[in-house]
């Protein structure tokens, strides 16, 4: 199966283990209020109340709308951040650059969200295949990003790409999953930070 990124493209400036970089909690939101408000609106548009949600590469806040979901599972690299996120019903810590197998059952969630974090994946095709595996048929994947990042931890391919090039990268990750189809690409500037999102749907098994 395709890895999408070459060894050179997945290089990071900071080669320390990701766990050491995220050892201390970072209670920041990584984007301005306009971006975050638009993200919450997009989630309301794409994720139905009652859905089972997996918030991948999450943090102390999930930016979900004020809706009742079946369950919200969060994943990240810092246990303190995850514990502070009151939208999560379940949570786990895992470095997806080392272990790309999610501890979730096949077709166990209706939506996967990945906000402001996709730029740190060194093996995105494998991770997106896992997103597809855990999504139920017709489930939705929402990947959002802006021009902000921790540059020392972002992969080379992301650092060197334009914003439209980053859209193309995420589309290539979706295509590599094999059972996801891009349904919508959002490009907006609600405030200072540009808002980009790629929305994909899980094709029926």
Inside any domain, residue 52: yes
Per residue in 17-51, is it b (16+ CB within 10 Å) or e — as a string? ebeebbeebeeebbbeebbbebbeebbeebbeeeb
Q: Is the pTM of this model over 0.85?
A: yes
- The total number of structural domains that make up the chain: 1
Inside any domain, residue 12: no
Inside any domain, residue 9: no
Residue 85 maps to which CATH number? 3.40.50.150
Q: Residue 89 sits in which domain range?
A: 18-61+68-202
Inside any domain, residue 148: yes
Tokens 């019903």 correspond to what residue?
89
Question: How confident is the model over 56-73, as pLDDT tens digits?
Answer: 999 899 999 999 999 999
Q: Residue 26 — very low, low, confident or very high, per pLDDT cuts 50/70/90?
A: low
Inside any domain, residue 1: no
Inside any domain, residue 143: yes
Question: How confident is the model over 158-183, as pLDDT tens digits?
Answer: 999 999 999 999 999 999 999 999 99
């Amino acid at each position: 199966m395709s890895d999408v990124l070459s060894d050179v493209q997945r290089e990071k400036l900071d080669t320390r283990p990701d766990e050491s970089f995220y050892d201390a909690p970072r209670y920041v939101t990584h984007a301005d209020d306009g971006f975050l408000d638009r993200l919450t609106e997009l989630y309301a548009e794409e994720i139905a109340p009652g859905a089972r949600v997996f918030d991948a590469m999450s943090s102390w806040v999930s930016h979900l709308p004020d809706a009742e979901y079946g369950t919200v599972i969060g994943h990240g690299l810092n246990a303190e951040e995850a514990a502070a996120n009151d939208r999560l019903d379940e949570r786990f810590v895992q470095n997806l650059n080392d272990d790309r197998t999610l501890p979730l059952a096949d077709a166990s969630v209706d939506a996967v969200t990945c906000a402001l974090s996709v730029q740190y994946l060194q093996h995105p095709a494998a991770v997106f295949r896992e997103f597809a595996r855990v999504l139920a048929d017709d489930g939705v994947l929402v990947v959002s990003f802006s021009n902000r990042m921790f540059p020392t931890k972002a992969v080379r391919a992301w650092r060197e790409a334009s914003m439209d090039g980053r859209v193309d990268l995420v589309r290539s990750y979706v295509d590599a999953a094999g059972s996801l189809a891009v349904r919508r690409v959002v490009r907006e500037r609600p405030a200072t930070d540009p808002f980009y999102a790629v929305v994909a749907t899980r094709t029926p098994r």
